[in-house]
Chains A and B, each alone.
Chain A
């Protein structure tokens, strides 16, 4: 934990903004530069910075699940979106879109990627921080 008042104050504000931005990046990714991987990296940077300034306990309170659960949830979501392909009569991971093409199974797949990235990075950050305690 880095004891710096400036960092503390900054990250409190930054956290919300960055997570919001990461979600924006995640959803716009299908048409503009962005996507689940980049979004996940941004969100994990936000949480990691917060954890660095406020300590791992604060992060645990903030996330209300351990990062490993996020990894599992992300993998599960990606898998389920892949299985949706069967529901559409296609192969595993075949895409399935709503009429008009605004919502589709690849979107859920991308959210899965997003969650896996956040979970994995934060698992490492948390484990490293708890080493110090």
Chain B
């Protein structure tokens, strides 16, 4: 599995080369790897419940219990098949969609990188690995949404998606780490066995909230749903792949994956059912308000994701079964619908419903493909979508509380989805032909292959639902539940309540569809009346954030060295000083120093020089007096037997003189500046005295501690035999602790370059 994930990533490095050398065949070539991987996975899947659970683990940071572990169980298998299978078709489709575009190679590289990330995410068996791949999907999604980076709208949408999903990702990271610390391991498969330990832990609510925040942002649940429709600015292959079939399912995947340890509590059920139900209804309503093909599909995706979250929340075996079937069916038909809509857009030059019509005879194959997918979306027999809907109703009705209410809401949602499917299929392909920006004709094979195959699969798995059940649904449900669970799917279960609800759904959906313009107008009025717009709220929030940032930058980054110094010193004094006081680090008794006359003379010199600095009227005097301080300190170093430090101090003092000689003429006179600052001067004095007192207190506290000579002795002992040098200071600097020195010379370099660029900037400004 590691090899598989790695080779998909490797492919993303090859893609630009292949895209440049063989632009016409690039899509087909790059589809080979995911297609053959899909074939391998399907052969595994035909084993049904007997399929092996594969596991692989490579050390990454073993000291922190971080492993590149991968695990292929039923749930991961279903997702991997969808990711690689639909991925292969989308890659072929991209080759046709971006035909002649010089950026094709880059696009395919991003797509492959995303495919690898998503695959890693569903296979990951270590929470850290999982998180890394989770973030990688956000990053690659950012690159893909913003693919048309010259368009301001694309950039905004890409940034929005990144910030929303990335912000949720941070919450998820906290949640996962919390989980790992409760469970004592980072391996998911071990965590999943711990069962009730999580549900009974005091931090359960925190874990749940953090994990769900991650899942909800990723899977576009209310109130984070707004980024998904905006993500439709991406080229259509991206919408078909990331924003319907795969990435947005990551949150749903996570919820299903963690169900065995987090699921089943009141909090879990009501959060997921509440948010899922609200998202589903909102998505359905917003879908039929749209007139742009892709936006309709985007909102139906939101609705479907809501349904999935709701089903995961209900958590009964029946509901989880419905969850898997709905997920499977949705990935198939939504991928097909997006690619079909993209083909229409590609051939006609528009996606507006009002400017499309009668394409049936002009694009017959696309029409059939979209039709198959739309029927599955509408939930009509004998398609897989129908089975999913039946399961959904049975699952909802079977849950203990408010089952009928939930089922009722789902009927409304499914009716709206049926209407949306009708809009996407009937409006463009039937009725009178309408003049479009481009003269349409049948799309090339690369553009219809994907939708046709996915649409046909939706039909095939509906008819041969036994295979779908044995190969994919049963193993996946078993993984979620945590024990083997044989599932049998039915097209015809007899006259049960679910079938009745299906009939109501179809009737309602057809009614809404036939009265579409009036329903749309009604929903529009409802929308203006509610005045609720997450998207605009997002903009306002972003503007507010920037304002806060500007305010605090102005407040903290005053631009004056004295402000910085004062703020830093005051903060350090308070933080360290309070710690000293409260942790009992203050030493009451001041030891009498056993100093010689030389020490007293140097100390007196320093005090006198400091006083001169403070009272100086010109910069020259102040700097010279400070120089005296520095030289006296160098002498103290010499007295205590540290010649290296003393020489360094002397050299630095010398260099300061040279540098000051260069800038002296530009320094302001000190007197006028001083006179103007009454209160500020007092404040400065307080901060300076406080800081001085702090350093004194720390020094006294240090002296009071017993001195541990271990390190010093050890370095001195090892200096000659290990470091081949008699100067311990130098051996420490360049050998024993060379990494510290490396860091220090890096700082020195950055300081030099920083001063250089600041001075150059000033020169440029003049």
Contact = CB atoms under 8 A, between A and B. Distances in A.
B723 A41 contact: no
Contacts of B445: none
A109 B658 contact: no
Given A35-B734, A95-B735, A128-B759, A106 B749 contact: no
B745 A35 contact: no
A106 B723 contact: yes
Contacts of B663: 128
Contact of A106 (B643, B738, B756, B763): B738
A78 B745 contact: yes
Interface stretch (B248-256, B428-436, B725-733): B725-733
Contacts of A82: 738, 742
A81 to B, nearest CB: 8
A97 interface: yes
B755 A124 contact: yes
For the complex, would chain A's binding face be called helix, strand, loop or mixed by DSSP majority?
helix
Contact of A109 (B725, B734, B756): B734
A38 B647 contact: yes
Contacts of A68: 752-753, 756
Given A38-B648, A68-B756, A71-B753, A117 B748 contact: yes
Nearest to B721: A101
Contacts of A49: 658
B727 A120 contact: no
Contacts of A97: 724
Interface in A100-129: 101-102, 104, 106-107, 109-110, 112-113, 116-117, 119-121, 123-129
A124 B757 CA distance: 9
Contacts of B762: 131
Given A31-B727, A48-B658, A113 B745 contact: yes
Contacts, number: 146
Interface string A49-82: 1001000000000000001100100110011001
Given A30-B727, A123-B755, A106 B658 contact: no
A14 to B, nearest CB: 12
A31 B731 CA distance: 9
B746 A95 contact: no
Given A113-B745, A127-B755, 5 more contacts: A38-B644, A41-B652, A48-B655, A95-B738, A121-B655
Interface of B: 643-644, 647-648, 651-652, 654-655, 658-659, 661-663, 722-727, 729-731, 733-735, 738-739, 741-742, 745-746, 748-749, 751-753, 755-756, 759-760, 762-763
- 3 nearest CB pairs, A to B: A120-B752, A101-B724, A41-B651
30 contacts: A30-B723, A32-B726, A34-B730, A35-B730, A37-B733, A45-B654, A45-B655, A45-B658, A48-B659, A68-B752, A74-B745, A79-B742, A82-B742, A93-B739, A93-B742, A106-B734, A106-B735, A109-B734, A109-B735, A109-B741, A110-B730, A112-B745, A113-B733, A121-B655, A123-B753, A124-B755, A124-B756, A128-B659, A130-B759, A131-B759
